[in-house]
Structure 1
């Protein structure tokens, strides 16, 4: 019996395995010299946290995501998520900053865009940092979004290079 087991192990251990059905796709889609998804010069997400507003008037702020070039917090009221607050560095995605070029609305001298379809309101600080408030509950209106944008420390954020 040990001889049979040894022979089986030798043949199964030394046999070549068929490549995974995904191997060709992996090889094809990797290494295309594509640019990095996040620019090396993007600000660290943790650097944005100090510019977020504190919870107030029954609202609580809970940070939910932080990565290079991006930070996000949920805004909750009565235990329910009513909005998402975020700051992103558009150096990694310049097209995100382009939508502000034709903006006629301003908030504290920063171009403002209100997207009714996405239920979000945002400003662009220093032609680079997008500060956004997005509704997650129908009770959180466009006026609420603008009010919460004003609570961000936009002046402090404008000092980042």
Structure 2
């Protein structure tokens, strides 16, 4: 019996050493990470991008039965839900286009303005403007009753002059 215990212990120890020292294959995620960093890909968000928390003070205030609920805030972006009577009506957003120059470029051919800033209708549910050639202010309908004219009116409720000052 002692030989069996000794042999079992030795076999167990040997198994642990062999399996513990075996090389593990690289994770597919690790490989993708390595490939993407080798391409010298630019950072997703520019270092100069404004912190999302800086944008909160420029959002329209609550009132007249409307609730503004901040839902996302990260470098270069902030977003809030607009609710009334418990119903999601729209999403309000400010983004710093310094990280996405193409987002600002699309306003160059705009033929309409809101509050003096170039404006775009994106599809049937989004309205956006470009403030100080840098910050995109966007309102997205989440309810069919929230129309393009509602989106334009809510864009005008942002502190656009304050946001323009932030760009300087």
Using the size of structure 2 for normalisation, the TM-score is 0.88
Count of residues in Structure 1 that have an aligned counterpart in Structure 2: 160
Q: Is the 8 A contact 1:118 1:134 kept in 2?
A: no
Structure 1 residue 118: Cα displacement: 4.7
Aligned equivalent of 2:22: 15
Aligned equivalent of 1:54: 61
After superposition, give the CA deviation of every residue in 1:35-64 in whole Å (9 maximum; x if it has no partner). 111111111111110000012222100000
Aligned equivalent of 1:123: 129
Aligned equivalent of 1:73: 80
Alignment of 1:144-159 (within 5 A): 144-159=150-165
After superposition, give the CA deviation of every residue in 1:83-115 in whole Å (9 maximum; x if it has no partner). 000001111111111121111211221111122
For the residue of structure 2 that corresponds to 1:130, the secondary structure is strand
Structure 1 unaligned regions, length at least 5? none
Structure 2 unaligned regions, length at least 5? 1-7
Q: Which has more helix, going by share of residues? A: 2
Aligned equivalent of 1:89: 96
Aligned equivalent of 1:132: 138
Rg larger in structure: 2
